Chains A and B, each alone.
Chain A
Amino acid sequence: MSTVTTLRAPLSVRAKGKGLAFATALLVCGVLAVVPWFTNFGTQRLMIEIFTVFAIALAWNLLAGYGGLVVVGHQMFVGVGAYALFALSNRLEFNPWMMLPLAAIATGLFAVVSAYPMFRLRGAHFAVGTWVLAEMLRILTLNNEWLGAGGGMPLEALSSFDRWTRNAGIYWAALVVGVGTLVVARTILRGRLGLALMSVRDSEAAAEASGVAIRRAKLVLWVIAGSLTGLAGAVAYMNTLQVTPDATFSLNWSAAAIFIAVLGGIGTLEGPILGTLVYFLLRESFASYGSWYFIGLGSLAIVTMILAPGGAWSLITRKWPVDPFGVRRDMPR
């Protein structure tokens, strides 16, 4: 983490290169948008999972890689978002797609409240502290009849849609969440907040001395990343149609985010993209091996942490100095 941080915004490379990148991004989004007309339900469901897990991992990576806020209880945001959507949609009998923004807002509010106890902890203590909070939420929902207790609840409103509309609708929501999270992350990193966060990451003392409001910057990031994760969690559970305390507040969500960020590269925007591809490639090829798959995945993460702590993306930037998202800040000459 020796990125040099300066006060100047990144220099745009060349107007032509910028236009090309923008056209490519549009083309990719366009191709992804028409996928429901050309694929079967199985592929769509897998891609919904890929987009939502990507968004969750990217939000985790924003917190850990840029805010220094390593979260082991990241599943709490997934769970709050998903439960908020299911409860609101079932009780108010509204269209679940219309409720998605409310689920994100609810998760954001939860993030504000949870910051009070959590921000008293630092570093590794903070990490495990968030896990305690996630466990508390799991036990609470497990014992709450109104939320369906151990059996959870289905998303009733979805049964009024036919299968194609439902799948395609969830797919587009997932696509918007995946692309949207990337856009939000890039906007943050190129703006004032990103500058503040990267200066804190490089030297907290120097940042504080230069007048960066560290606590506020971290709090804003916490709320944004929490809301994004809640939104992605809500869409992910629209896909499975049922929330249960043990699955929705499962450590597996954090584990997936951590593996993706570690394999791809912590503290980069490109890392989670690469990491998500690697993660799903491995899962689709080897998940049938059960325990052995997890042993392999865990070992791979351990080896990556030791041999290439910057993940797969660092192996690429070591050779070619590429910066597709324009978030690197170079020393002014």
Chain B
Amino acid sequence: METFIETLLGGLMLGALYALFGLGLSLSLGVMKMINIAHGDLIVLGAYLCSTVMQFAGVGPFVSLVAVVPLMFVIGYVLQRVLLNRVVGKGALTPLLLTFGLSIVLQNVLQETFTADTRSLQAGDLSLRGFDIAGVSVGLLPLVSTLISAVIFAGTSWLIGHSHLGRQARAVADDPGTARLVGVNDGNFFALVTGFVLAVIALAAVMYGIRTPFSPTSGPERLLYSFEAVVLGGLGNVWGTFIGGLVIGVAQLFGAKVSSGLGPFFGHLVFLIALLARPQGLLGKAQR
């Protein structure tokens, strides 16, 4: 029983991290109607940037975010302005293939800069601490990262619902042409969204880097988990992505209990079954 609860809790906390991976993908899908194939590689880039800042400034992983979050925001803004804005709104094919090329470039730039060796972010004794609740042991770090993830989701949800930027986001998502007519500067706005997405990625990256060793080629797997969280939760629904991430995380950890090599497989399997049973996603509205 204790192992069951431990696995469940571990899965939920892993899932909260996947949800955070998926949040950015969900936003760019909702607002710009594009999937960024390089999403996973950008997560890995964030982890490498943290690692570099930690090395040079001699600080811990969370302190390194002070530099990495603004840096990632700028990278996102420039990337969207210079490159991605040229293909937004040109159907599904063009942005997909463009970001596919970007993903290959990014992976190889990382390999060239940081070698193919795996790295991880050292969080000192923070990553070792944990506590017991009625015989169930819970790690402090996963708990902290789950809380951070939930806070970011709540914040994003509030921003979309109540802020001026959020109103613009919803307007552009509903009808980009009309939104432009009433004065939304979509070029600049998309760049701000991608900047925000990459800032969220930076936060997710630091927790990912402490948890799991990463290498330049770890990106695509992160993209798949993010994608599954988004589709499983239902499109255009921020909290759906959160639930979707939790489901994938739980499925992976229980799968790993069945056979240690099959964790990700069970995540994929649950995704496929959910797709057949409920194509609109867990929280999505049924269409037609």
A139-B272 in contact given A262-B97, A301-B101 (Cβ < 8 Å) = no
Segment of B14-22, B106-114, B202-210 engaged in the interface with chain A: B106-114
Q: Chain A residue with minimal CB distance to B116?
A: A291
Task: Give chain B residues whose Cβ lies under 8 Å from the Cβ of A301.
Answer: 97-98, 100-101, 104
Q: Give residues of chain A (65-84) contacting chain B, Cβ–Cβ below 8 Å.
A: 68, 70, 72
**Among A87-95, A123-131, A232-240, the stretch in contact with B:** A123-131
The answer to whether B224 touches A135, judged by C-beta atoms less than 8 angstroms apart, is yes
Q: Is A116 an interface residue (CB 8 A)?
A: yes
Cβ–Cβ contact A143 & B261, under 8 A: yes
Residues of chain B within 8 A of A129, CB atoms compared: 231, 275
Which of A36-44, A163-171, A292-300 lies at the interface with chain B? A292-300
A68 contacts across to B, CB distance below 8 A: 93
Shortest Cβ gap from A140 to chain B (Å): 7
What does DSSP make chain B's interface, helix, strand, loop or mixed? helix
Q: B61-91, CB under 8 A of A: which get 1 and which 0?
A: 0000000000000000000000100110001
Q: Are A117 and B276 in contact (CB under 8 A)?
A: yes
When distances are taken between beta carbons in the complex, the residues of chain B under 8 Å from A255 are 100, 104
CB of A18, distance to nearest CB on chain B (Å): 33
Q: Is residue A105 within 8 Å, beta carbon to beta carbon, of the partner chain? A: no
**Who on chain A is nearest to B110 by CB?**
A291
Interface assignment of A8: CB less than 8 Å from any CB of chain B: no
Are A305 and B101 within 8 A (Cβ)?
yes
Residues of A within 8 A of B97 (CB): 70, 258, 262, 301, 305
CB distance from A139 to the nearest CB of B (A): 4
Q: A72-B37, A117-B272, A139-B265 are in contact. Are A295 and B109 (CB under 8 A)?
A: yes
Interchain CA distance A292-B262 in the complex, whole Å? 34
B103 / chain A contacts, CB cutoff of 8 Å = 298
Task: Find chain A residues with CB under 8 A from B109 CB.
Answer: 291, 295
Contact flag A127-B92 (CB < 8 Å), given A291-B111, A295-B109, A299-B101: yes
Q: Are B34 and A143 touching (Cβ within 8 A)?
A: no
Q: Is the CB of A128 within 8 A of B227?
A: yes
Contact B224 A123 (CB under 8 A): no
- Interface membership of chain A positions 284-319, coded 1 if the CB is closer than 8 angstroms to chain B and 0 otherwise: 000000011011011101100110010000000000
Contacts A291-B112, A294-B105 hold; do A116 and B98 have CB atoms under 8 A apart? no
In the bound complex, residues from chain A placing their C-beta under 8 Å from that of B83 are: 302, 306
Instruction: Please indicate the chain A residues that have their CB under 8 angstroms from the CB of B107 in the complex.
Output: 294
How far does the alpha carbon of A37 sit from the alpha carbon of B108 in the complex, in Å?
40
Please provide the chain A residues from 111 to 126 with a CB less than 8 Å away from any CB of chain B in the complex.
116-117, 120-121, 123-125
In whole angstroms, how far apart are the Cα atoms of A121 and B83 in the complex?
Answer: 27
With A133-B272, A262-B97, A305-B87 given, is the CB distance from A125 to B105 under 8 Å?
A: no
CB distance from B259 to the nearest CB of A (A): 7
Known: A128-B35, A139-B265, A305-B94. A298 touches B102 (CB 8 A): yes
User: Cβ of A175 < 8 Å from any Cβ of B?
Assistant: no
Interface string of B259-286 (1 = CB under 8 A from A): 1011011001101100110010000000
Judge if A251 is at the interface, Cβ distance under 8 Å: yes
Query: With A72-B37, A142-B261, A306-B87 known to touch, is A123 a contact of B223 (CB < 8 Å)?
Result: no
Shortest distance from the beta carbon of A262 to any chain B beta carbon, whole Å: 6
Closest Cβ of chain B to A244, distance in Å, is: 15
CB atoms of A132 and B227 under 8 A apart: yes
Question: Could you tell me if A291 and B108 are in contact, using CB atoms closer than 8 angstroms?
Answer: yes
Q: B179 in the interface, Cβ–Cβ < 8 Å?
A: no
Whether the Cβ atoms of B275 and A309 lie closer than 8 Å is no
A104 proximal to B (CB < 8 A): no
The listed residue with most B CB atoms (<10 A of its CB), out of A143, A266, A291, A301, is A291
**Apart from A121-B279, A125-B35, what are 16 other A-B pairs with CB-CB below 8 Å?**
A70-B93, A121-B231, A127-B96, A128-B224, A129-B231, A139-B262, A143-B259, A255-B100, A266-B93, A295-B108, A298-B102, A298-B105, A301-B97, A301-B101, A302-B105, A306-B86
9 residue pairs of the A-B complex, CB under 8 angstroms, read A68-B93, A70-B93, A70-B96, A117-B275, A128-B37, A292-B112, A299-B105, A302-B98, A302-B101
The list of the 3 closest CB pairs from A to B, nearest first, reads A123-B92, A298-B105, A298-B104
Q: Footprint of B on A, CB under 8 Å?
A: 64, 68, 70, 72, 116-117, 120-121, 123-125, 127-129, 131-133, 135-136, 139-140, 142-143, 251, 255, 258, 262, 266, 291-292, 294-295, 297-299, 301-302, 305-306, 309
